[in-house]
Amino acid sequence: MSSSATSATPSPAGSTARNNLLRDRNVAWLMSGSLVSLLGDQFTLVALPWLVLRLTGDTLVLGTVLALLGIPRALFILVGGAVVDRHSPKRVLMLSKHLNTALLGGLALLVLFDRLTLPLVYALALGIGLSTAFSIPAATSMLPQVVAPAQLPAANGLMMGLRQLSFFVGPLLAGLVIALFGDGAAGGIGSLRDAQGLGLAFGLDAFSFALSAFTLAKVQTTPVPARAHLPVLAAVADGLRSFWRDRALRSCLMYWSAVALLVTGPVQIALPVLANQRPELGAAAFGGLLAAYGAGTLAGMVVSGARPRLRAVNLGLTILLVDALVGLLFMPLGRITALWQGVALLGGIGVLGGYMQVTVFTWIQRRVAPALLGRAMSVFMFIYMGLAPISSAATGWVLRSVSLPTLFMAAGGALVLLVLLALGASGMRKVTDAPVMTP
């Protein structure tokens, strides 16, 4: 890659932008609250599956609870984006934090006093899933109203780096709390006796939402020019029409949809199957593979924050080049015979993916008009949240008929082929870092 850039807005050097960012108390309030909330989320992600299995011992019930968390989020995230644009990211995010504080606080009390029933678990999971449909577009739309445009790459890199850090630290802390204070195993299936650790985990997540709501109240945002208020569904349609008229954004969204279908399923389904089927790997090695991918992603985010203008001619060609390299690294994954081979491949994929995550988020935040940003981020998140289950289901079905090496080779090859098709038959190669979408 070259260091040439096409951005119309001058950007300071990466180190200068980061230094200015860290001295901004407004940003410090936002980042500290985000870290607290992200760590709290890991407590619920660890405790909830264990709670359901202790309560019922039924994997079907566990799948139902997880579906109640995920399906409302995928279905309503576009509506959430429209609501964010109408009422401001800060206001919607604040309300979602208060709602999650109440839901998780109630769940903690029900567990601690052994009053939890399965219908209440379903209702609470549905409420949390609906809340995240609004909090995700609100949280991803906050930064452009807090930092200057030139600081967005560094701010996105820092925010996503904190998220990756929470993925490492949060589960370890959650597991320690649950193990020390009681996981409910003493009471057997159907009883939550001696489940104080589970109750405490949910209580800590509730506290994290309350604390992050306090820090969010300290954050000052730049007001967005008011627009005529449309009904929510009309606002969703208005946003989709605006994005469709922007050829560069339309090309990217369609391309990313295809990438999500090709890659997310093999990562979520085929990797654990690979670790399980290979005697030289196993569960511990699977954790090592995920850790390598996470560490690579974090490193890529750091690179993106430090070198925000690093491009292969322009943004579109950079995206295509990175994805072609990911496809090539993906192809031999099914034939690894040692942990170090998988670590090297997934670490490289993580570095490339982490770099592009920060770059793409920053590009969308700069390109889309502020009054449409909530809807734009909700569409982007819907691509990965809504299409990932389809890709995972398709991967599981395909694995009944083909071997793992064939699946990884086909998925990687398909991604390289998609890059070639996009290079010759789409507008991807002409996508630049132009900062604002034409209304």
Contacts of 428 (CB under 8 A, 6+ apart): 251, 252, 255, 316, 317, 319, 320, 422
Binning pLDDT at 50, 70 and 90, where does residue 321 land?
very high
Query: What is the distance in angstroms between the CA of the first residue and the CA of the last residue of the chain?
Result: 32
Q: Has residue 187 got a pLDDT over 50?
A: yes
What residues does CATH 1.20.1250.20 cover in the chain? 12-222, 236-439
**Amino acid letter, residue 178:** I
Contacts of 308 (CB under 8 A, 6+ apart): 11, 14, 17, 153, 154, 157, 358, 359, 362
Q: Has residue 1 got a pLDDT over 50?
A: no
Q: Has residue 437 got a pLDDT over 50?
A: no
CA distance 185 to 195: 8
pLDDT above 70 covers a percentage of the chain that reads: 84
pLDDT value of position 104: 95
- What residue has token string 């934090």? 97
Binning pLDDT at 50, 70 and 90, where does residue 4 land?
very low
pLDDT value of position 269: 67
pLDDT value of position 20: 66
CA distance 304 to 308: 5
Compare 67 and 438 and report the one with higher pLDDT.
67
**CA atoms within 13 Å, Cβ hemisphere of 435:** 13
Instruction: Quickly count: other Cβ atoms within 10 Å of residue 134's Cβ.
Output: 25
Residue pLDDT, tens place only, 268-289: 667 766 766 766 665 556 667 7
Binning pLDDT at 50, 70 and 90, where does residue 208 land?
very high
Q: Has residue 228 got a pLDDT over 50?
A: yes
Q: Has residue 389 got a pLDDT over 70?
A: no
Q: Which of 125, 130, 110, 111 shows the shortest CA–CA distance to 64?
A: 125
CA distance 366 to 376: 11
Cα dist from 178 to 48, 87, 115, 202, 306, whole Å? 11, 38, 19, 10, 38
Q: Which fold has domain 12-222?
A: Growth Hormone; Chain: A; (1.20.1250)
The first and second tokens of residue 204, run together, are 């800590």
Q: Has residue 379 got a pLDDT over 70?
A: yes
- SS3 at position 330: helix
Residue pLDDT, tens place only, 246-269: 888 888 888 888 888 887 777 666
Cα dist from 161 to 29, 43, 49, 392, whole Å? 16, 19, 26, 26
Binning pLDDT at 50, 70 and 90, where does residue 18 land?
low
CA distance 40 to 329: 34
Nearest-5° Cα angle at 260, 350 to 271: 55
Q: Has residue 397 got a pLDDT over 50?
A: yes
260-287: burial string, b at 16+ Cβ within 10 Å, e else: bbbbbbbbebbbebbbeebeebeeebbe
117 φ, ψ (degrees, to nearest 5)? -120, 165
Q: What is the mean pLDDT of the chain?
A: 80
Segment 92-97 mean pLDDT: 94
- What residue has token string 């496809």? 327
Q: Has residue 156 got a pLDDT over 80?
A: no
Contact 374, 81 (CB under 8 A): yes
Binning pLDDT at 50, 70 and 90, where does residue 115 land?
confident
Binning pLDDT at 50, 70 and 90, where does residue 427 land?
confident
Q: Has residue 409 got a pLDDT over 80?
A: yes
Residue 2 β-bridge partners: 311
Contacts of 10 (CB under 8 A, 6+ apart): 150
The reported pTM is 0.70
Handedness of CA 220, 224, 230, 233 (dihedral sign): negative
pLDDT value of position 92: 92
Q: Has residue 14 got a pLDDT over 60?
A: no
Compare 91 and 298 and report the one with higher pLDDT.
91
pLDDT value of position 26: 84
CA distance 320 to 406: 23
Segment 66-79 mean pLDDT: 82
Q: Which CATH homologous superfamily contains domain 236-439?
A: MFS general substrate transporter like domains (1.20.1250.20)
Binning pLDDT at 50, 70 and 90, where does residue 102 land?
very high
pLDDT value of position 52: 84
CA distance 315 to 192: 53
